[in-house]
Structure 1
Amino acid sequence: MSTGTSTFVIRWINFLTTLLAIAVIGFGVWMSTHHDGCRKSLTVPVLGLGTIIFVISMIGFLGAVKNNSIMLWIYLIMLCFILVAILVFTVFAFIVTNNGSGHNVAGLRYKEYQLQDYSSWFLKQLKNSHSWKQLKHCLVKSDNCNNLSKKYKTLTQYKLAKLTPIESGCCRPPSECGYPAVNASYYDLSFHPISSNKDCKLYENFKHVKCYDCDSCKAGVAEYMKTEWRAVAIFNVVLFIVLSIIYFIGCCARRNAARNRSKV
């Protein structure tokens, strides 16, 4: 690749990623001023990501503008670390999301989830009392369970609904408990549970209790996390390919910059 082409491409790619980094940092600042504690917990990672992208992009941009081989070397080294990190995280994400799936229940269109089906890494995170306390707070605040009765006006609609993993695991008791559903958000708990599952005793109709302390709820969150992580892993594969191409172009730009410097 010619000197002009490689430096031109690197220059504009990093100019665009610098603008992206500024947008990410701005989004992180906005999240820090938001009153939702669940969103605030993401502030530091978002700001950190924006800062890293900004620093690397500026080094690459200035290196291409000034045709400086040293700055391009630094840019390539940092980009190499990112490529390795993306590769490691992607492999890890595919490994931890390999296990776990829902179980069909007769008469229902949605599935139920069991905690033991998921990877040990997910189990460790979800069984941590401090981590689950924060997650539980966010689940209660999201009000997903209380909105079920608004979404499904009749019991028939509720039974035919396709509930999300979190709605299925956190908003209702497991089907094996045998509690009759009065509506989408209320169960008749006067019946003696036909199962020894501890979740049957943990479920309450109160909006702040529901089944948030149940293993079925943790399993529903694990299924949600599995889906999200798998989507991120697939995105990372695409990102890895794109960054590899940029890395190759950067290598050409650095080599050409070093060649031009030796001619001076």
Structure 2
Amino acid sequence: MVRLSNSLVGILNLLSFVLSVPILGAGIWLLKRASTDCEKFLERPVIALGVFLMLVSLAGLIGACCRVSWLLWLYLLVTFLLIILLFCFTIFAFVVTNKGAGEALSGRGYKEYRLGDYSHWLQKRVNSTKNWSKIKSCLSDSMVCSIFQDKYFSDTSENFYIEHLSSLQSGCCKPSNDCNFTYVNPTVWNKPADSVYSNPDCSAWDNDPKVLCYNCQSCKAGLLQGIKSDWKKVAVVNIIFLLFLIVVYSVGCCAFRNSREDSYYRKRGALLN
């Protein structure tokens, strides 16, 4: 049992260490080629994750294989804190993504999105001028509306209205259905003269490819819909990873206890001799 628990901890941490290498490599690759705000935003957490996973795996691997009690203790402490952190994040993710959904429209294949439908915490994040400036830069860099324009350019208005658009395409690349603009092509719409709009997004719309509806509330809502969907998937993965960590932590506790017992008996044997 002593050898089995230590061997299991060693094998599991060896796998974690091997996994950390490509994660760290991907972060360094992003760092070297980063030229946009999106890439600069992504590189730091990827590198931090790779380094963290590598150090924790090394601590668990050396502690289990070499019976180093203090390293195993440190490894178990970090693993326990990680379990608490993942548990809290998973609950938080489900709470903040519980509200919000697209509004189905009669005669339309796509849905439209309202910022007020989402949680106040998410709304606060995208309503920050500093945050939204970075997000707009990312949306521009990803060419989400350029791809949208090319894909549906040949559509007539009848064909366009029945397309199944993503939340970002619906919210950021076309005007709201409330505006009743005249369709020319997916990103060019004619505004009626001297119209008064109840929806402020109608005034924010511009046919300029660099503007479109990037300043609209619907664009922020479309982004939050995508985040909501992604966070729910991440939360499910977190639950699986959480169960895995609990198993590893339990085995690690056995290995730590075994290491302490081995150390005690070695010292006792040395004193008797």
CA contact (8 A) 2:113 2:221 kept: yes
1:13-162 to 2 correspondence within 5 Å?
A: 13-34=12-33, 35-152=35-152, 153-155=154-156, 156-162=158-164
CA contact (8 A) 1:177 1:194 kept: no
Q: Which stretches in structure 2 are left out of the alignment for 5+ residues?
A: 267-273
CA contact (8 A) 1:177 1:193 kept: no
Q: CA deviation at 1:146?
A: 2.2
How far apart, CA to CA, are the structure 2 residues paired with 1:211 and 1:26? 37
Give 1:163's aligned amino acid.
L
Give TM-score, length-normalised by structure 1. Answer: 0.96
Structure 1 runs of 4+ aligned residues shifted over 3 Å read 190-195
Q: Deviations over 1:151-188 (max 9, x none)?
A: 12212332221101010000011101101212222111
Which residue of 1 is the match for residue 166 of structure 2?
164
CA contact (8 A) 2:110 2:170 kept: yes
Which residue of 2 is the match for residue 11 of structure 1?
10
Q: Which moved more, 1:204-213 or 1:191-200?
A: 191-200
How far apart, CA to CA, are the structure 2 residues paired with 1:140 and 1:46? 22
Partner SS for 2:184:
strand
Give 2:94's aligned amino acid.
F
Partner SS for 2:145:
coil
Q: Which moved more, 1:240-249 or 1:152-161?
A: 152-161
How far apart, CA to CA, are the structure 1 residues paired with 2:206 and 2:69? 66
How far apart, CA to CA, are the structure 1 residues paired with 2:205 and 2:90? 37
1:221-260 to 2 correspondence within 5 Å?
A: 221-260=223-262
1:212-223 to 2 correspondence within 5 Å?
A: 212-223=214-225
Give 1:14's aligned amino acid.
N
What is the aligned residue count?
263
Q: Which stretches in structure 1 are left out of the alignment for 5+ residues?
A: none
CA contact (8 A) 2:69 2:256 kept: yes
How far apart, CA to CA, are the structure 2 residues paired with 1:230 and 1:193? 40
Q: CA deviation at 1:193?
A: 4.3
Which residue of 2 is the match for residue 182 of structure 1?
184
Q: Deviations over 1:126-171 (max 9, x none)?
A: 0000100010111122222122232122123322211010100000
Give TM-score, length-normalised by structure 2. Answer: 0.93
How far apart, CA to CA, are the structure 2 residues paired with 1:165 and 1:191? 29
CA contact (8 A) 1:168 1:220 kept: yes
How far apart, CA to CA, are the structure 2 residues paired with 1:193 and 1:50? 54
Q: Deviations over 1:87-137 (max 9, x none)?
A: 111111111001001101111111100000000111110000010001011
* Paired-residue identity, %: 33
CA contact (8 A) 1:179 1:193 kept: no
**Highest CA radius of gyration, 1 or 2?**
2
How far apart, CA to CA, are the structure 2 residues paired with 1:237 and 1:191? 54
Sort the Cα spacing of 1:92 and 1:122 in 2 relative to 1 into closer, same or farther, 3 A.
same
Give 2:124's aligned amino acid.
K
